[in-house]
Amino acid sequence: MANTETSLKECLSSIDGATAAALVDYTSGMALGTMGGGKDFNLEVAAAGNTDVVRSKLRTMEHLGLNEEIEDILITLNSQYHLIRLLKGRGGNGLFLYLVLDGGRANLAMARHQLRRIEAELEV
C-alpha cells in the first residue's frame, strides 16, 4: 500500500504526459495532497473547482435515478486532458484523484489504466 505522496509521485513519474496530480476530498473541496502544477496552474484552485464538477455530476445522476457509479470524468481542453477518478477502495469515500495530462504527449487509455492501478495501491 502507498501513501498519498508516494501515489502522487507515481502519477507524475509513471504516466506519460502527466503534469499535475492531486488527491481531493469532494465533501470539503480541499486538496489532501498535490504534486506538479506550478505558478501558472494552481492545483488548490483546480481541486476546489473540480469538486463542483463531481458534486454536480453526482446530483444529476441522482435526479435521473441512475443507479451507477462514476469511474472517472474526463475534461478535454485544446492542449490538456483533466482526468478525475473517484476512489472506491476502503477509506476512499468522498475522495478523488485528479490528474492533468499534456494532450500532445499523453496516451489517455494508458493513463486511465495506470490511474486505476495507483488507486488500488493507495492507502488513505
46-84 tens-digit pLDDT: 999 999 999 999 999 999 999 999 999 999 999 999 999
The Cα–Cα gap between 109 and 23 comes to: 20
Residue 2 has pLDDT above 80, yes or no: no
pLDDT at 13: 87
Q: Does the structure show a pLDDT above 90 at 103?
A: yes
Q: What is the strand order of the sheet 30-36 is part of?
A: 30-36, 18-25, 95-102, 80-86, 72-76
Q: What is the CA radius of gyration of the chain?
A: 14
Residue whose cell numbers read 495506470: 114
pLDDT of residue 90: 59
CA distance 37 to 53: 19
Whether residue 91 is predicted with pLDDT greater than 80 in this model: the reply is no
pLDDT for the residue numbered 108: 94
Scanning 1-124, the segments in alpha helix (DSSP H) are 4-14, 43-64, 108-121
3-state secondary structure of 25: strand
Residue with cell 498535490: 34
Per the CB < 8 A criterion, the answer to whether 2 and 10 are in contact is yes
Percent of the chain exceeding pLDDT 90 equals: 70
